[in-house]
Amino acid sequence: MSMQVSPAGVALTKSVEGCSLHAYPDPATGGAPWTIGYGHTGPDVKPGMTITQTQADSLLNTDLARAGLVVNSLVHVYLTQNQFDALADFTYNVGATNFRNSTLLRLLNSGDAKGAADQFSRWNLANNKVMPGLVKRRAAERELFLTPDAA
């Protein structure tokens, strides 16, 4: 069964990304990749670009759906909705290749959800620097991952 990011998962990404309707440079590099909306990057994002709130929401929904497909394809154990949402946000931020190659995924697929949860905090670097925003984001992902779904 294929899971999808829930409204709570979308809310997590919105809260940790923030929204900018004007393209801005990557905080770690001061340049590429350029980012717009809720952390959307790609060849379509150029310096000076502006989008509407509706476009920002649409990009986020598309990007999170793509991250969800990655999680669905790589995770081979049962996930709660909260675990799925946390992993989709993580994948959205670090990328599919990093998630695919992560110890977090290996531990999760081996049945060690607690060990996997403890891996989130290791992903706090950008350009070899600890980024306070990533420290907060990983803590939020880990907290959601460990929160049982509401009955």
Q: Please give the positions annotated as active site.
A: 17
DSSP calls for 79-126: --HHHHHHHHHHHHHH-HHHHHT-HHHHHHHTT-HHHHHTTGGG--EE
Rounded Cα distance, 54 and 19, in Å: 11
Q: Which residue has the tokens 């809720």?
A: 38
Cβ distance 67 to 78 under 8 Å? no
Rounded Cα distance, 63 and 57, in Å: 10
Rounded Cα distance, 108 and 130, in Å: 25
Cβ distance 120 to 146 under 8 Å? no
